[in-house]
Amino acid sequence: MRPYKNLVFGGGAMHGCMYPGVLIALCNGDRDAYAAWFKGVNCVAGTSVGSIFAYMLTVWDPWTVCEKIKTCGFRDIAATLFDHNVAEATMQRSINSGRALEAMLKRGVLESLGDEGATLLDLYKRTGKKLVITVTDRQSGRVGFWNYTNRPELPI
């Protein structure tokens, strides 16, 4: 795999689910090759769902991320939404409140950092990776970037 210092993941709901698979494909399914390649990455950033995957890929390899995502209850969401049938998706409980995803992320923070209330600074100290989260101020429309240097106390 080509060396990269920074990884950036975009938003777009279901698009986020492709990131782990792309990384697995880029290293030809070789976990050791991925681990060696990822050591060279200094910064992982994302917007919206991309920030969720940026965090997960900071603490887990893409194979583990794929397994974790399967526990979040997004059953057949893509097929139902691409058919533009939101009512059916809601009735099937394909679209959920996000509680399962939130619970999985909290378990992940506890599992990987030992503290459910771990901060961006804690993550950096543990992994050596700078997690950058893109944010937009709803009132001003300004874009900001949060990371351990400007929001060290921000819980993950």
- Cα–Cα distance, 52 to 108 (Å, whole number): 12
First vs last Cα of the chain: how many Å apart? Answer: 29
pLDDT at 153: 96
pLDDT at 148: 96
Give the pLDDT band (50/70/90) at residue 90. Answer: low
Beta-bridge partner residues of 45: 8, 132
Find the Cα–Cα–Cα–Cα dihedral 153, 17, 89, 97, rounded to 10°.
Answer: -10
pTM of the predicted model as reported, rounded to 2 decimal places: 0.77
Tell me the pLDDT tens digit for each residue of 101-141. Answer: 788 888 888 988 999 899 999 999 999 999 999 998 889 99
Tell me the pLDDT tens digit for each residue of 69-83. Answer: 877 765 555 554 444
